[in-house]
Amino acid sequence: MPEGVYNLGGQKVTVKDHQVRIAAGNLAGSVLKYSLAFKNIIKFTGYSLDEKILISSVNQSKKFGLESKGSLDIGKDADINILDNNLNLQKIFSYGNIM
């Protein structure tokens, strides 16, 4: 989300400097983009590329019970991020449509 003030679960939160904080200043979340999160998985873990991809797709969808997510199987949502060789986000497809 861009910097600003939002409602998160009934609380006013402020997004600033890639952080989400409640009025008291406590950390309430993050606005970390997928491409940077994926780079962090690469930088801070010793997992193989296959494991890193599973962590950021299949495992998450299973953990949160999102049966239509996590793979490109028939009947799924066809959500995919296309990264270049430097892991910079190039394209996003959501429900099979380019965003």
- Domain check: are 9 and 27 in the same one? yes
Q: From the centroid of its chain, how far is CA 93? A: 13
- Domain check: are 18 and 60 in the same one? no
- Domain check: are 61 and 17 in the same one? no
Q: What is the average pLDDT value for the chain, to the nearest integer?
A: 88
**What domain count does the chain have?**
2
Residue range(s) defining the domain that contains residue 6 = 1-31
Q: What is the pLDDT of residues 29-67, one digit of tens each?
A: 888 888 888 889 889 999 998 898 888 888 888 988 888
- Domain check: are 58 and 15 in the same one? no
pTM: predicted TM-score of the whole model, two decimal places: 0.62
pLDDT value at position 78?
85
- Domain check: are 16 and 43 in the same one? no
pLDDT value at position 83?
87
pLDDT band at residue 18, thresholds of 50, 70 and 90? confident
Q: Does the pLDDT of residue 68 top 80, yes or no?
A: yes
- Domain check: are 11 and 59 in the same one? no
> What does the radius of gyration of the chain's CA atoms come to, in whole angstroms?
16
Which residues sit opposite 29 in a β-bridge? 20
Of all residues in the chain, what percent carry a pLDDT higher than 70? Answer: 99
- Domain check: are 17 and 57 in the same one? no
- Domain check: are 88 and 61 in the same one? yes
CA pseudo-torsion sign 47, 50, 53, 54: negative
- Domain check: are 51 and 92 in the same one? yes
